[in-house]
Structure 1
């Protein structure tokens, strides 16, 4: 039997499963929206982001695992914001124009998330979010390091996700803040029409991949 993880968009859910629930979402069936949040959004996050982070947190040897944790967190941020906006990343070929719901500037998507949504907006402005993207996210992804004086610590005071002035990110607090956002998104998704439309666009794209 052929097994290809690319066939699955959230746990064992496939594009066929998504097409089955999609009409109920279009009809604004409230039970379908709770199901979509749990079985598609949250399951995808848990298996691809949150569970791997938890494994790293459980087996820390304090020899650099914090870098891996933050890389996953930064990847998650782009997915969360692009799901909220109903957009998808595209690396355009020369002369290619982006579609209406495509983007190629990951930094702006990333920075909007940190500067626009609680609990992160109390820490980041758009400017400091862009600095974080360049010198934490991109530096970690490309060189497994931080730049421009940024440091990664485990914990900070009073749930603070980062000290922009001191250039310190507190990865455990950062994770707790991400979990808060994900939990709060459930209520937003089930109430706001614009988020519902964006969610459908996002998962239409994932199901078509």
Structure 2
């Protein structure tokens, strides 16, 4: 049974795409997958909400780390993943050192209790910075926009690497896991 990896590509064609080592097409599939699932819905929807944006942002972070590492899943490494993500990010540098708090109070709060915890709040007032650690406020729109830049930077780095590089091997491994889950 074939499953859509994006609206323009199904799991059925993955082996052929992988065998052809078509970096450009694989990057296009990844871009479509992330754009359709995570980024575009919040650009076109007038009813968007910061809470939902941050829930999706947490999914993007874990998905992107899994893609970069070639992991099947991120079980058990939550705090470490978020600390590493923010410490290596070029677009979310204001969150360096906040990974453990973010993981516990944003990611786990939203995904397990359907609320932020620890006094953290999510806003979309453009007069606010992306994060204010003192008042524990995160600007959801700015955060998701920077996260999209982070993803695009990753794709640009992939584009420059040889298909047989370790980074490409990890990406292929992760997509293989995704396709295997389709079966």
**Aligned equivalents of 2:58, 2:125: Cα separation in 1:** 17
Mark the runs of 5 or more structure 1 residues left unpaired by the alignment. 26-31, 91-102
Q: Does 2:40 align with 1:51?
A: yes
**Aligned equivalents of 1:107, 1:8: Cα separation in 2:** 31
Which residue does the alignment assign to 2:117?
A: 147
Instruction: Look up the SS of the partner of 1:148 in the other structure.
Output: coil
Per the TM alignment, residue 156 of structure 1 is displaced from its structure 2 partner at its CA by: 5.0
Q: Does 2:32 align with 1:33?
A: no
Instruction: Look up the SS of the partner of 2:40 in the other structure.
Output: helix
Which residue does the alignment assign to 1:95?
A: none
Q: Does 2:81 align with 1:119?
A: no
- 1:50-108 CA distances to partner (integer Å, 9 max, x unpaired)? 2333344x224xxxx32112111111111011111111217xxxxxxxxxxxx542332
Bigger Rg over Cα: 1
Bigger shift: residues 110-119 or 74-83? 110-119
Normalised by the length of structure 1, the TM-score is 0.76
**Aligned equivalents of 1:8, 1:106: Cα separation in 2:** 28
Which residue does the alignment assign to 1:205?
A: 177
Alpha-carbon RMSD across the aligned residues, in angstroms, is 2.2
- After the TM superposition, which residues 1-209 of structure 1 pair with which residues of structure 2 at under 5 Å, given as runs? 7-25=3-21, 32-38=22-28, 40-56=29-45, 58-60=46-48, 65-89=49-73, 103-120=75-92, 122-126=93-97, 128-156=98-126, 160-192=129-161, 193-209=165-181
**1 or 2 for the larger relative contact order (CA 8 Å, sep ≥6)?**
2
Q: Residues 124 and 66 from structure 1, CA distance in 2 versus in 1: closer, same or farther, beyond 3 angstroms?
A: closer
- 1:137-171 CA distances to partner (integer Å, 9 max, x unpaired)? 1111122211112111114568x431223311111
How many residues align structurally? 178
8 A contact 1:123–1:164 mirrored in 2: no
**Aligned equivalents of 1:189, 1:21: Cα separation in 2:** 16
Instruction: Look up the SS of the partner of 1:136 in the other structure.
Output: helix
